[in-house]
Amino acid sequence: MPQTSYRTSSFAESVIRRMTRVAQQSGAINLSQGFPDFDPPEALLKAAVRTAREGPHQYAVTWGAPDFRRALAKKQSRYTGLPLDADAHLVVTCGSTEAMMVAMMTACNPGDKVIVFSPFYENYAADAILSGALPIYVPLHPPEFSFDPAELRRAFEQRPKALVLCNPSNPSGKVFSREELLSIAALAEEFDTFVLTDEVYEHIVYAPHRHTYFAALPGMFERTISCSSLSKTYSITGWRLGYVIAAPAIVNEARKVHDFLTVGAAAPLQAAAVTALELPDSYYGELLALYTEKRDLFLGYLDRAGLSYSRPQGAYYVMADISEFGWKDDVEFCEWLAREVGVAAVPGSSFFHEPVSHLIRFHFAKRSETLIAAGERLLKLREKARGQHG
């Protein structure tokens, strides 16, 4: 049999998918894989029924159906404060996942270096490998997940082509402050670097924190390739609708990459999702209130269970500290947790480039009853952990 490519051999099975399997086998409540277990807005479901009947059912314009782009440009202009043009600044993609791949391939040549903050969402390393780029990891130090400006400067001194900015961050729940972003912007300017943003959690930022769009910082629009999607904002992770926003010259190149990768995102779903993009501002307030409630409910259980954690500032994940339980290996701890306590989490080591094994990640994008059931189980964690080793 011929050999498959060396590129694929460096990809391990996703730890999150593995934990999902362990959860299924042991009947654990799955707080590992980050998607909602509740429905999208009713108006959106109605629109999807309509487009299923009436179409369109054939390819849309490859870089996005005009109606969808117009609605997206209008909504994103409102939130970013940038005057976005539906015809010049957008590429509609299959989720932020494709958008990030497009951004990486548009910005980088094989052999170029890319700064990635660690811990990181696992796709970024894969995107770099697939596009032949080499990641330079800069640690976000727990428990605050702050970066050391000197460490970041040293990374820039290696002359990277791009920096990946996940804001708000998965897995840490960090929201970069405006000051932090300005310091990144100054380095990006000094070293003439692209910034590739992944802002899928842009509407899930807990008070008093605020989301700052990197592209909207002074002078940054020309070097930023902003990626995001409708997955998290409208609870439609399976619809696979995302986008790239960038300056026209970058968009022209990104469109070519996108065209050859996927041709386009699903035409009937783009048509239906115009309804989502036209929802009033109150929708985003309600979404945030919903997630704030879920966060507080779940953190309340972690407090009662006596687990320490970094308080999430955005997104819907929390990293809890398991050092006191004395396990050497967070993967074994998570397998034990799923089997014996009945809650599945992700071992933190799967997100870090550095050898960090004292953190695990839960997600709380679940119905209240699911979070309460998981929380009740976690209250027994301490008792069950007694006498265990690791």
Ligand X SMILES: Cc1ncc(COP(=O)(O)O)c(C=O)c1O
Applying CB under 6 A, which residues contact ligand X? 34, 95-97, 121, 166, 170, 198, 200, 229, 231, 237, 242
Dist CA 216 CA 205 (whole Å): 17
| Residue with Cβ nearer ligand X (242 or 347) | 242
**What H or E segment, with its residue span, contains residue 369?**
helix 368-378
The residue assigned the tokens 């032949």 is 132
Q: How far is the CB of 358 from ligand X (least distance, A)?
A: 22
Return the number of the residue (145 or 325) whose C-beta is nearest ligand X: 145
Q: Give the nearest distance from C-beta 350 to ligand X in angstroms.
A: 13
Q: How far is the CB of 363 from ligand X (least distance, A)?
A: 9
Nearer to ligand X, 173 or 268 (CB): 173
Query: How many residues does this entry show for the chain?
Result: 390
- For the CB of residue 150, give the shortest distance to ligand X in the complex, in Å: 26
CB atoms closer than 10 angstroms to residue 207: 8
| 78-84 LR contacts (CB < 8 Å, sep 24+) | 78/281, 79/202, 79/213, 80/213, 80/215, 80/216, 81/213, 81/216, 82/213, 82/215, 82/216, 82/221, 84/245
Q: What is the dihedral of CA 265, 267, 273, 277, to 10 degrees?
A: 70
Return the bridge partners of 114, or none.
Answer: 135, 162
Q: How far is the CB of 281 from ligand X (least distance, A)?
A: 22
To ligand X, the closest distance from the beta carbon of 217 in angstroms equals 20
Give the residue with the Cβ less far from ligand X, 32 or 229.
Answer: 229
| Amino acid identity at 235 | S
Q: Tokens for 62, please give them.
A: 């490859």
Least CB distance from residue 325 to ligand X, whole Å? 27
- Tell me which residue has its CB nearest to ligand X: 95
Nearer to ligand X, 171 or 342 (CB): 171
Q: Helices (H), strands (E): how many in the chain?
A: 14, 13
- The HSE-up count of residue 87 (CA atoms within 13 Å, CB side) is 0
Angle at 372 between CA 43 and CA 301, to 5 degrees: 125
